[in-house]
Chain A
């Protein structure tokens, strides 16, 4: 077998796969942030908590109601998205006329509430969630062992990301959405219910976070802090990519996951901060972000 700079290929491929999986989560989460930001102009600070909520709801469905992973994959985004709709209707809606920073502060408070509640009732030790039987085991590819579930996470994320991209960029509904991003008043004048659209968009962005949570549940242990640190990395991903384009968020998410995986191979100590370092470099060279349209 070939060796690359003294790194055995199994290690390299293993870390690349891990990077790709992290990248899947970065992509789905930053996509959700970008969709919400596009229409609402707020940064959804509770995105990490809503991702955690997704994992917990999946766990509860299995534990209390015996509903399996595949149903959870459909039900959880609906449930978590519904909580988002309620949040938008009760609270966020009242802040649109104010400085957008208030939206950030409000959702930060919401994140504290959700995380605090789950810490109270479930502790911080983490709960196990079984990989569904259809996806247990793995494939021996000769140069490495590929666990089926991990391959599924990457495939599922890619499908969801491109599905979202397709809806927003290529359908009539997406066209309304993009138009409302540019000029909500004018779109409203054409008889489209813009407040409803904003509400559902927020719900959809939050549902994406919930979906990522279900995907994550069998890989990472389900615990109340799982979203808190992740979301800060996703913020850095969003700053690097810029939130101007849907495709930009997806590409940056996967790309940075892979870069992080490679860093783990070649310079393990730097893997925790490599994304922040890239953010610093991007801010110096292209402050509006790689795919950003304006600063």
Chain B
């Protein structure tokens, strides 16, 4: 690599490291305005579902797109947090924000434990290890007392935010979910564009070189795994408050597959791809719900076509057209 090449790379990199680019800021602003008026246009519960999955996919993308680690067991953190939050709300009578926080913390801890073991293997083995541990969490949810087995935890009360503001109505809850998920996604954006995020990219691109530069690669991997699990948990805990339900669907391996699909479809390693992918997949499921198992077939076809022909994802393609990172 010649000096001019390095200079070019430096120039390319600079805008990303100094705060948020104007384009990204504009997109986030438009997104926020659209989301603020959205409950007047669509059914709020649907919009809340999309937002929860967008955060879930963004959390997953932190690990895959920026850490280069493919976890096939992210349902464990999403669903695990949803069980803990539902339990806190229903049995302990906690307020929504406290339930969401304890669910998120539980997911982060679970991520710490599983991540510490999973990062001992790489590539394909890493994916299999995370999948196997997630299946263990699934069996736990199936058999444990507090999860309610096949029934799950049903009719979780929505309660009052900070013990003051009731969020029983869908409209009130919508703005809580908007604040949580939008805040979460901005936080993830900040992580990606932090010095920590830069080191992550370095590890993804060339792990031996990152090691030779003195970075303790495993600590970075473990931290990004834990962060990703925590934010996936934030999404799952919030979802349990929206649907007033925590069930086996959320911890099943097919949920882990869905979040991979969302991220792949939207664009791995892009900022807005996971949000786009989650919107497409959730909308599709919504309209095709009456078709039963065909939804699985269609998702499988999208997976196959996506991998064969469309690896950049929707946002990845747009990003290439306009020659700007999205």
Q: Which residues of A contact B (CB under 8 A)?
A: 37, 41-43, 91, 94-95, 98, 100-102, 104-106, 108-117, 119-120, 228-229, 232-233, 235-236, 238-239, 269, 272-273, 276-277, 279-280, 283-284, 287, 295
**Please, what's the 1-or-0 string for B99-117, where 1 marks a CB less than 8 Å from any CB in chain A?**
0000000000000000001
Which residues of A have CB within 8 Å of B260? Answer: 105, 108
B294 at the interface (CB under 8 A from A): yes
Q: Is the CB of B300 within 8 A of A111?
A: yes
Question: In whole angstroms, how far apart are the Cα atoms of A98 and B70 in the complex?
Answer: 15
Q: Is the CB of B131 within 8 A of A283?
A: no
Contact A287 B123 (CB under 8 A): no
CA distance A289 to B112 in the complex (A): 22
Interface membership of B244, Cβ < 8 A = no
A233 to B136, CA, bound (A): 10
> Secondary structure of the A side of the interface?
helix
Sample (21) of A-B pairs whose CB atoms are under 8 Å apart: A43-B124, A43-B128, A91-B308, A98-B311, A104-B127, A105-B303, A109-B300, A111-B300, A115-B296, A116-B299, A119-B292, A119-B293, A232-B135, A233-B132, A233-B135, A236-B135, A280-B117, A283-B121, A283-B129, A284-B120, A287-B121
B143 at the interface (CB under 8 A from A): yes
Are A239 and B132 closer than 8 Å at their CB atoms? yes
The answer to whether B70 touches A101 (Cβ under 8 A) is: yes
- The reply to whether the CB of B133 lies closer than 8 angstroms to some CB of chain A is yes
Q: In the complex the two chains form, is B303's CB within 8 Å of A239's CB? A: no
Given A235-B128, A295-B121: A106 and B135 within 8 A (CB)?
no
Interface of chain B, helix or strand or loop or mixed?
helix
Q: How far is the CB of B224 from chain A (nearest CB, A)?
A: 17
How far, in angstroms, from A272 to B300 measured CA to CA in the complex? 28
| In the complex, chain B residues whose CB is within 8 Å of the CB of A108 | 257, 260, 303
Interface centre among B117, B132, B133, B304 (most CB of A within 10 A): B132
Contact A295 B300 (CB under 8 A): no
Q: Which of B128, B135, B307 contacts A239 (CB 8 A)?
A: B128
Inter-chain contact A232/B292, CB cutoff 8 Å: no
The answer, yes or no, to whether B178 is at the interface (CB within 8 Å) is no
Chain B: which residue is nearest A229 at the CB level? B135
Is the Cβ of B297 less than 8 Å from the Cβ of A106? Answer: no
Using A109-B304, A110-B304, A295-B121 as known contacts, say yes or no to A101 and B296 having CB atoms under 8 A apart.
no
Closest 8 CB pairs of A and B: A109-B303, A112-B300, A116-B296, A113-B300, A116-B297, A119-B293, A287-B120, A276-B136
